[in-house]
Structure 1
């Protein structure tokens, strides 16, 4: 029977905390909800792309932020859209409702 010293238990616990911290800081997540062909796509903590099932699995990508404007690519078409406005990007209409370094929320419809 092996008995661990308090020091090795502390080191193991610290390593577990560090690993958990690293995993929780992994880059970004996306969520999307769709109703009748209109989807809200949320990008958080550095996430830059999402596949939106409610729009026939189209890929939505964040290409960059320029102040209150976001550069997006949707299904291969690209455009820059200002917060609070709507603009066509390919066959889709995009309306950013929130733009910050931590979170971008887009409403996307056909």
Structure 2
């Protein structure tokens, strides 16, 4: 059971890291879109990948939350760490959406 939770945590961690990387890639590319037409396609690709990783993150977090309820071990450090990672990713996504909206 603990192995399954750790595997899910690793998936969440990877997704968080990849999301952070994609965010900076998208930001870097956005500045160059007027100069390079093919960069617009790159941005689309990054955004599609971003959506994929965000969905992966949310799905895995849902599973982990269910595991936590089943095990009733909220003091478990690895679960607390996952929850922190999830909120970090959620914050990142909110910042991204605000940037998209031009706020």
TM-score class, shorter-chain normalisation, is: under 0.3
- Normalised to the residue count of structure 2, the TM-score between the two structures is 0.28
Higher relative contact order (CA 8 A, sep 6+): 2
- Normalised to the residue count of structure 1, the TM-score between the two structures is 0.26
Name the structure where strand makes up a greater proportion of residues. 1
